[in-house]
Chains A and B, each alone.
Chain A
Amino acid sequence: DGGITQSPKYLFRKEGQNVTLSCEQNLNHDAMYWYRQDPGQGLRLIYYSQIVNDFQKGDIAEGYSVSREKKESFPLTVTSAQKNPTAFYLCASSMLPGDGYTFGSGTRLTVV
Chain B
Amino acid sequence: SQQGEEDPQALSIQEGENATMNCSYKTSINNLQWYRQNSGRGLVHLILIRSNEREKHSGRLRVTLDTSKKSSSLLITASRAADTASYFCATDRLTGGGNKLTFGTGTQLKVEL
Contact = CB atoms under 8 A, between A and B. Distances in A.
Interface of A: 4, 6, 31, 33, 35, 41-45, 48, 50, 56-59, 88, 90, 92, 97-106, 108
Given A41-B106, A98-B31, A103-B43, 10 more contacts: A33-B101, A43-B43, A45-B102, A48-B98, A97-B99, A98-B30, A98-B99, A101-B35, A101-B43, A106-B40
Q: Which 5 A-B pairs have the closest CB atoms?
A: A97-B99, A103-B42, A100-B45, A56-B97, A42-B103
A59 B1 contact: yes
A42 B105 contact: yes
Main SS class of interface, A? strand
Contact of B45 (A88, A101, A106): A101
B25 interface: no
Interface string B35-46: 100001111110
B98 A56 contact: yes
